Chain A
């Protein structure tokens, strides 16, 4: 009844379905957005689409974890979406540009433009692009969308939107972007360091300017290799071992294994910095005078200090993990939302002002 009257303070459930884990976050408005519930669930089968059985299990987990309602927002991962920078004629209307975007994206997937849903947002016009109207576009085939929606709807969820990780993270970073006082010519770089891949996002105050996936410097294999030295036979155990090692005092001692681990993570950070530099150069080449105002980390690798220091050293800029929205209701009081929940939290903010 309260929800009917519009007094519901809870956001939809942001569900970020990854290859290894499903992250879900629900926020509530209490003097700004706070985390009402958050949970991270291991996938039953890694790397495959979510099944109805898994979705039903997920719903049960969410209900037990304090989530309310069935309204959900999903993220279409980079594997299923197609994104590109699209250029249209300078005088093109939004409708004309929409048709161009749909045609371009469908062409990339060799699909019918009518069988794809597309979204785009205009990019700032560079000095050499007066004859074109440029936009960042993202598309999702209807079949892929239904493959995502059907299991969740069978489980009783009511999916109100399929968003993208880039826009979700941009939304999540809204307060930080405002704090950095990004004007039209300033931008920030966000590195989403996941287990299986890394994505680089370039944000300005209003939009996602640029996004790129990196598969090479994925931390998963590295962490697994480090964990194997300690007898960790699964990725979860390897991750746990590495995290525990990073948090222990052994790091500060001359423990050869700890020092070696730190060095490997720092090398990953340095490779990430190199890739991030390419993106920064691209943006600044595209728009001379654009200034970098911040480099942020999110994802599972954001909590690894040696990796962060490697990025800092490579970019010669201060790097920080993005802050969380506050303690989750179902988490221990001293434990905040992990940086890898940022996408899910951004999804929960869909349609709302951060």
Chain B
């Protein structure tokens, strides 16, 4: 740096006064800048506080969304539960509304006694529009002779439980060391007067 870089012949008192003025002005600017910054900060805080719709709307919206989600979840859960309940109810109804097959089996056992021996019993519901409207009973069995088998068919028809009893076929069978006659029956259970099987 040059030795003559900062020669200043301004009177000392004048220089001090100028220096003081510059300092005061600088401090004024600093204070003004500080005040400005504080003002901006306050304005920012005020803006944050005074805009709940803007600032708090988002939480509210999110809460609403959560609530909607919860509601939807609850609805789904309830619907699932209701559906499960309905299913249970339907099952209960189904069980409750089923014919008393025990009676049928007892009937079959009684009518076949001394004539035939059942080897297969298949009860099939016949659905119309998804609802069981009738039942079909398929029977396989053995009889001592074709005549006994036919007598079994007639005995079933006489019960009145079946709308129809059809002998689908007979055939010779050798079972238990005996010459027997196997048969197959197709029986349709007669519906109740109310339409229920």
A interface residues with partner B (beta carbon < 8 Å): 1, 4, 76, 81, 117-119, 121-122, 138-140, 142, 145-146, 149, 158-164, 166-167, 170-171, 174, 205-208, 350-351, 353
Contact = CB atoms under 8 A, between A and B. Distances in A.
B5 A351 contact: yes
A38 B35 CA distance: 38
Given A171-B2, A207-B2, A145 B11 contact: yes
Given A138-B7, A164-B7, A166-B4, 19 more contacts: A4-B30, A76-B9, A117-B10, A117-B12, A119-B8, A121-B3, A145-B9, A145-B10, A149-B10, A159-B18, A161-B7, A161-B10, A163-B9, A164-B9, A167-B7, A206-B4, A350-B5, A351-B5, A353-B5
Interface residues of B, number: 18
Given A145-B14, A158-B18, A163 B3 contact: no
Main secondary structure of the interface of A (DSSP, over half): mixed
B3 A207 contact: yes
Given A4-B29, A145-B14, A206 B3 contact: yes
B33 interface: yes
25 contacts: A1-B33, A4-B26, A4-B30, A4-B33, A117-B11, A118-B9, A119-B7, A122-B3, A145-B14, A149-B10, A159-B18, A161-B8, A163-B7, A164-B9, A166-B4, A170-B4, A171-B2, A171-B5, A174-B2, A206-B2, A207-B4, A208-B4, A350-B6, A351-B5, A353-B5
Interface of B: 1-12, 14, 18, 26, 29-30, 33
Main secondary structure of the interface of B (DSSP, over half): loop
B14 A351 contact: no
Contacts of B4: 121, 166-167, 170-171, 206-208
Contacts of A140: 9
A118 B10 CA distance: 9
Given A4-B33, A145-B14, A138 B9 contact: yes
Given A145-B14, A353-B1, A81 B9 contact: yes
A119 B3 contact: no
A117 B6 contact: no
B11 A142 contact: yes
B86 to A, nearest CB: 76
A205 B29 CA distance: 39
3 nearest CB pairs, A to B: A140-B9, A167-B4, A121-B3
A170 B2 CA distance: 9
Contacts of A350: 5-6
B14 A149 contact: yes
A152 to B, nearest CB: 12
Contacts of A4: 26, 29-30, 33
Given A4-B26, A160-B18, A117 B9 contact: yes
Nearest to B25: A4
Contacts of A1: 29, 33
A121 B5 CA distance: 10
Contact of A162 (B1, B3, B5, B9): B9
Contacts of A174: 2
For B2, B6, B9, the residue with the greatest tally of chain A CB atoms inside 10 Å of its CB is B9
A307 to B, nearest CB: 27
Contacts of A119: 7-9
Contacts of B7: 119, 121, 138, 161, 163-164, 167
Nearest to A123: B3
A163 B5 CA distance: 10
A123 to B, nearest CB: 10
Contacts of A76: 9
A255 B154 CA distance: 161
A182 B6 CA distance: 21
Nearest to B1: A353
Contacts of A206: 2-4
A161 B14 CA distance: 10
Nearest to B10: A162
A146 B11 contact: yes
A167 B5 CA distance: 7
A139 B9 CA distance: 7
Contacts of B2: 170-171, 174, 205-207
A170 B4 CA distance: 8
Contacts of B12: 117
A283 B4 CA distance: 19
A351 B5 CA distance: 6
B10 to A, nearest CB: 5
Contacts of B29: 1, 4
Contacts of B8: 117, 119, 161-163
B16 to A, nearest CB: 12
A170 to B, nearest CB: 5
